Amino acid sequence: MTKNNRVIWSEGLFLQPQHFQQQERHFEHEVHIRTAHFNAHCHGFHELKLDQDLLLAGKISILKASGYFPDGSYFSIPDQDPAPACLDLSSNVKDNKIFLTLARPHWQAQHVAWCAENPETGVQPDTRYVAQGAEILSIYDHELEAQTIEVGQLNMFLSAGQQIRDGVVGLQICELRETKHGMPQVDETFIEPCLCGIQNSNIRRALETVVSLLQSKIDQLRQRRVRKGSHNSSEIGDFLLLQSCIEHRLVFLHLLTSHRLHPESAYIRLLECLGSVTLYGDDSAADFSPAYDHDNIRTAFSPVLAAIRNALASMHDQHAVQIPLNLKQSGVHLAQITDRTLLTDAHFYLTVHALAPEELVQRQFPSTVKIGPAEKLRDLVNLNLPGIRLKPVQQNPPALPYYADHLYFQLETRAEVLWKILDQTGHLAIHYAGDLPELRMELWAVRREQERLL
């Protein structure tokens, strides 16, 4: 086919209007193809404003709009092109999708109508352009009189989905839903295909919501104190999540000030945020299937926004919980277990450090310590009862902080009768009767489910 090929200009050529029409067709085709190859989603609205007063009267009308049709045609209502006739939302409009449409250019079809409507029938012609006389001044010689030149204005229509015929291009401007009284009403959650996402209130609101969720998570994570020198995997996870939340919050704050943010770019940023803030062990991001549809942006934004909300709303419990040991008297430390679920859902570890060889500490400490409920400690010591036993841990549990020269012991809790007493008071006592110098102890609880994940 030769419909889009360039004109061969040669000497002695007898010029016809078709020569210029063909050359214009060639240039338009080149621009459209090159633009489409660089960006697959280069159609949509820069601006769209509907007449709210007519909406109340059951009519759809455009006050102002600009953008590009899928074929690359630029339109600007009312600055450059006339607004299409309003669409009456009567009973014959069965489809809930309303489009702004324009006839496709066809090299064998008539493109121009010389009247805005048929004088006999009053029907608007279905051509691509309507001729309009314009007074044009010479930009080189202002002394010349203005000349009337026929220019072609886009001849656009408002059409319901089922009314769109072949040979037209369209952009959906709104979606209708029925009220409880059966009247059509514009769905405020619809997102039209647009080229600047910030101009759309729903996209802006989505980004503002993500910023608010990130800020809330940042505040939550900042309240958790990370001990100096700690290498707890849970604390490291909190730190990385905090870093990610701060980074994405700054990016979204910038995007909210951008005047040329394409919706697909915003969608990609939302996907990056979802992947970064999804917690370890949560498969929601791995199972998420991105699907960006530029002609139905709402179906792309709603799922990823819900996934981010769920990811950031998770409590993100710390894998390891340190239980403070308070020195009450010589050799006696008391721990208050306020979260009683730890007694059944967690493993308990005691970290020990002393200024002595590790072999000596590992051999001597378990035999010189008594662990049990505070109410039973006196009997354990005076009657030399075994108490809750300790089991040496050869390898540092991943959820616990790693310190050089520290030994780790796990409390035998499952079969201990003494452990069941703790469910009543939560007071755990540790009595050490040895002579290890500079002895320091820490009590930790690691939830069993999180320990399996780690």
**Do 113 and 208 belong to one domain?**
no
Query: How many secondary structure helices (H) and strands (E) does the chain include?
Result: 12, 21
Q: Examine the pLDDT at 454 and tell me if it is beyond 50.
A: no
Both tokens assigned to 50: 């509907």
Domain final residue pick, 313, 340, 375: 313
**Do 305 and 324 belong to one domain?**
no
Q: Is residue 243 part of a domain?
A: yes
Domain final residue pick, 263, 298, 313: 313
Could you tell me the residue range of the domain that residue 376 belongs to? 320-453
* pTM (global) more than 0.85: no
Query: Which range is least confidently modeled, 122-131, 320-329, 392-401?
Result: 122-131
Q: Encode pLDDT of 253-279 as tens digits.
A: 999 998 889 999 999 999 999 999 887
**350: exposed, middle or buried (C-beta count within 10 Å: 0-12, 13-18, 19+)?**
buried
| Mean local confidence (pLDDT), 293-302 | 92
Q: Is residue 154 part of a domain?
A: yes
Per the rule left: phi > 0, alpha: psi between -120 and 50, beta: everything else, 69 is beta
Q: Is residue 29 part of a domain?
A: no
**Do 166 and 303 belong to one domain?**
no
**Do 280 and 352 belong to one domain?**
no
| Mean local confidence (pLDDT), 30-39 | 74
Q: Is residue 12 part of a domain?
A: no
Half-sphere exposure of 18 (CA within 13 A, CB side): 10
Both tokens assigned to 338: 């306020």
Q: Examine the pLDDT at 171 and tell me if it is beyond 80.
A: yes
Alpha-carbon dihedral sign for residues 187, 193, 197, 200? negative
The pLDDT value given to residue 75: 94
Q: Is residue 7 part of a domain?
A: no
Contacts of 241 (CB under 8 A, 6+ apart): 217, 221, 277, 279, 316
| Mean local confidence (pLDDT), 438-446 | 90
Quick one: which of 51, 55, 81 has its CA closest to 68?
Answer: 81
**Do 281 and 351 belong to one domain?**
no
Highest mean pLDDT out of 254-258, 285-289, 320-324: 254-258
**Do 160 and 47 belong to one domain?**
yes
Q: Is residue 58 part of a domain?
A: yes
Quick one: which of 362, 365, 377, 364 has its CA closest to 430?
Answer: 377
The pLDDT value given to residue 10: 84
The pLDDT value given to residue 143: 81
Total domain count, the chain: 3
Pairing of strands 112-113, 129-136: parallel
Q: How far apart are CA 451 and CA 454, in angstroms?
A: 5
Q: Examine the pLDDT at 92 and tell me if it is beyond 80.
A: no
**Do 309 and 325 belong to one domain?**
no
| pLDDT higher at 415 or 84 | 84
The pLDDT value given to residue 356: 87
**Do 117 and 157 belong to one domain?**
yes
Q: Is residue 309 part of a domain?
A: yes
**Do 75 and 121 belong to one domain?**
yes
CB atoms within 10 A of CB 70: 19
| pLDDT higher at 225 or 361 | 361
Strand partners, 401: none
| Helix ranges, 131-232 (H) | 201-222
Q: How far apart are CA 171 and CA 180, in angstroms?
A: 28
CA triplet 109, 113, 119: central angle to 5 degrees?
A: 135
Query: Which range is least confidently modeled, 237-241, 356-360, 361-365, 437-441?
Result: 237-241
What is the chain's mean pLDDT, rounded? 83
Q: Examine the pLDDT at 231 and tell me if it is beyond 60.
A: no
Q: What is the CA radius of gyration of the chain?
A: 37
Domain final residue pick, 277, 298, 313: 313
Backbone angles phi, psi at 164, to 5 degrees: -75, 125
Q: Examine the pLDDT at 12 and tell me if it is beyond 70.
A: yes
Q: How far apart are CA 312 and CA 374, in angstroms?
A: 39
| Mean local confidence (pLDDT), 242-257 | 94
Q: Do 430 and 352 form a contact (C-beta atoms < 8 A)?
A: no
| Helix ranges, 197-334 (H) | 201-222, 233-255, 263-277, 284-287, 298-313
**Do 45 and 104 belong to one domain?**
yes
Q: How far apart are CA 265 and CA 263, in angstroms?
A: 5
Query: Which range is least confidently modeled, 33-37, 87-91, 122-126, 127-131?
Result: 122-126
Q: Is residue 15 part of a domain?
A: no
**Do 123 and 212 belong to one domain?**
no
Buried b (16+ CB within 10 A) or exposed e, 249-263: bebbeebbeeeebbb
Query: What is the side-by-side order of every strand in the sheet holding 320-323?
Result: 320-323, 440-447, 346-353, 407-411, 390-393
Cα torsion through 223, 228, 230, 232, rounded to 10: 10
Q: Do 275 and 289 form a contact (C-beta atoms < 8 A)?
A: no
**Do 44 and 180 belong to one domain?**
yes
The pLDDT value given to residue 453: 45
Q: Which CATH number does the domain housing residue 288 bear? A: 1.20.1440
Pairing of strands 168-178, 112-113: unpaired
Q: How far apart are CA 362 and CA 406, in angstroms?
A: 10
> Quick one: what percent of the chain has pLDDT higher than 70?
84
DSSP 375-388: GGHHHHHHTT---S
Q: Examine the pLDDT at 105 and tell me if it is beyond 50.
A: yes
Half-sphere exposure of 1 (CA within 13 A, CB side): 6
Query: Which range is least confidently modeled, 128-132, 176-180, 399-403?
Result: 399-403
